[in-house]
């Protein structure tokens, strides 16, 4: 095994956002040297990495030059120049996740087709090269509304996705390669993070549950473990592991799943990196997802994915009516509550719905954690003043 600890070994990270910032807690803990690339001079990773390079993640030459002196290259965001990663792999550089995986994921059409070809359960879909093809199908009555429309590329955090309910919704679509996907009337939205190391050791985290707001169609709480039947959990973990193996993923793979009304598990989409649905693990799991990602891409033994305690995660997003210098109203009040740990990503400016941080609530009793999470949600506001 190479000597990673307090050595000359250097890990390169593409992207310097909050996921990178949390990954850096672990590289610091292991004293592993890091080099981070991000276009934002005030990126959350700016401090705590050994070397920060400002540059465009989508620029071929920038990525190639950045990677020259790193021993292993990983990502904290998928929107990077994948051709550069491919070149680097051909030059013998270790790149995790692989360019192949990123290519399969960044185009949602290819991703869906890959699931179909790999025998992985996913919702029925149809691909379209452009809008007119889609309109043709519609006029021929081959499209039943409501239906889910997704742009094949460029979608992120809900962008590039919409639910078509009326003909007007279809008319207003952009002309871009896209896919239509059956709208799943799901019982639960679940997620499973699978860790897979260079040598193929695989460990699966417990299933987490996304609890939605009763009226607003928005995830409010990520709950670990999910409050579902054991056989459904096992099934979800099996499907997730199958996806990780199909991609031959190295590192973490976060698999978002639907539990249908009749307890079928369908893959929605994946992220080949640490993921929002795994933030609870910093406080809740024996091995947090960031340390696990590090272990996986460095081919170290994977750690236990068991939970120490029940955990609920609440995202801190910018209040819709505020823009400007951020202020976390009532943060001192939530700190009074047992097992409440805020994580502030370090973005100076808030914007409506911008991800500014998250709060983890842990308790030996999951229901207590869930109740505390509701108090937290009711108290804290991300505003500007």
Chain contacts with a copy of itself (rule: CB under 8 A)? 1, 3, 5-6, 21, 24-25, 28-31, 47-50, 286-287, 291, 295, 300-301, 303-304, 308-309, 326-328, 331-332, 335-336, 338-348, 362, 364
CA 164 distance to own-chain centroid: 25
Known binding site for ATP: residues?
A: 108, 150, 181-184, 189, 268-269
CB atoms closer than 10 angstroms to residue 242: 18
Say if residues 307 and 206 touch (Cβ distance below 8 Å).
yes
Identity of the residue, 165 or 364, whose beta carbon is nearer to a copy of itself in the bound complex: 364
- Of the candidates 325, 316, 324, which has an alpha carbon nearest to the alpha carbon of residue 379? 316
| Cα maximum dimension of the chain | 65
Identity of the residue, 172 or 304, whose beta carbon is nearer to a copy of itself in the bound complex: 304
- Report, in Å, the least distance between residue 224 CB and a copy of itself: 14
Identity of the residue, 5 or 159, whose beta carbon is nearer to a copy of itself in the bound complex: 5
- Of the candidates 136, 131, 162, 137, which has an alpha carbon nearest to the alpha carbon of residue 147? 162
- Report, in Å, the least distance between residue 367 CB and a copy of itself: 17
- Report, in Å, the least distance between residue 54 CB and a copy of itself: 17
Identity of the residue, 301 or 352, whose beta carbon is nearer to a copy of itself in the bound complex: 301
How far apart CA 44 and CA 19 sit, in angstroms, is 9
- Report, in Å, the least distance between residue 372 CB and a copy of itself: 11
Q: Per DSSP, which regions of 173-264 are E strands?
A: 178-181, 186-196, 202-204, 208-212, 219-224, 251-260
- As separate numbers, helices (DSSP H) first and strands (DSSP E) second, the chain gives 12, 21
- Report, in Å, the least distance between residue 318 CB and a copy of itself: 12
Structure tokens at 131: 């809008």
Length, in residues, of the chain: 385
Known binding site: residues?
A: 108, 150, 181-184, 189, 268-269
- Report, in Å, the least distance between residue 186 CB and a copy of itself: 32
Identity of the residue, 47 or 163, whose beta carbon is nearer to a copy of itself in the bound complex: 47
Q: How, if at all, do strands 186-196 and 251-260 pair?
A: antiparallel
Identity of the residue, 113 or 368, whose beta carbon is nearer to a copy of itself in the bound complex: 368
């Amino acid at each position: 095994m190479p000597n990673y600890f307090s050595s000359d070994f250097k890990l390169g990270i593409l992207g310097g956002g909050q996921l990178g910032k949390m990954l850096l807690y672990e590289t610091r803990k292991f004293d592993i040297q890091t080099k981070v690339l991000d276009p934002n001079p005030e990126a959350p990773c700016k401090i705590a990495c050994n070397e920060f390079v400002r540059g465009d993640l989508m620029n071929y030459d920038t990525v190639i030059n950045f990677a020259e002196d790193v021993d292993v290259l990983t990502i904290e965001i998928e929107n990077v120049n994948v051709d550069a990663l491919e070149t680097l792999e051909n030059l013998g550089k270790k790149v995790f996740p692989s360019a192949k995986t990123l290519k399969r994921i960044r185009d949602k059409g290819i991703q869906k087709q890959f699931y179909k070809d790999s025998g992985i359960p996913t919702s029925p879909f149809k691909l379209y090269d452009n809008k007119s093809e889609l309109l043709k199908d519609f006029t021929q009555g081959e499209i039943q509304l409501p239906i889910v429309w997704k742009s094949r590329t460029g979608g992120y955090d809900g962008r590039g996705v919409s639910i078509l309910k009326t003909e007007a919704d279809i008319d207003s679509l952009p002309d871009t390669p896209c896919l239509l996907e059956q709208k799943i009337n799901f019982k639960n939205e679940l997620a499973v993070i699978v860790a897979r190391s260079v040598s193929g050791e695989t460990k699966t985290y417990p299933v987490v549950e996304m609890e939605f707001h009763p009226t607003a169609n928005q995830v409010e709480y990520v709950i670990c473990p999910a409050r579902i039947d054991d056989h459904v959990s096992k099934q979800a973990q099996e499907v997730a592991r199958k996806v990780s193996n199909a991609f031959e993923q190295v590192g973490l793979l976060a698999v978002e799943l639907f539990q249908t009304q009749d307890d079928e598990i369908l893959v929605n989409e994946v992220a080949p990196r640490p993921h929002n649905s795994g933030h609870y693990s910093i406080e809740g799991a024996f091995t947090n997802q960031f340390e696990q990602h590090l272990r996986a891409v460095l081919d170290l033994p994977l750690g236990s994915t068991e939970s120490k305690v029940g955990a609920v995660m609440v995202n801190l997003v910018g209040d819709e009516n505020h823009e400007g210098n951020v202020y976390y109203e009532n943060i001192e009040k939530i700190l009074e509550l047992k097992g409440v740990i805020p994580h502030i990503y370090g973005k100076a400016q808030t914007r409506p719905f911008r991800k500014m941080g998250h709060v983890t609530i842990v308790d030996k009793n999951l229901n207590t954690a869930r109740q505390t999470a509701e108090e937290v949600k009711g108290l804290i506001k991300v505003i500007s003043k």
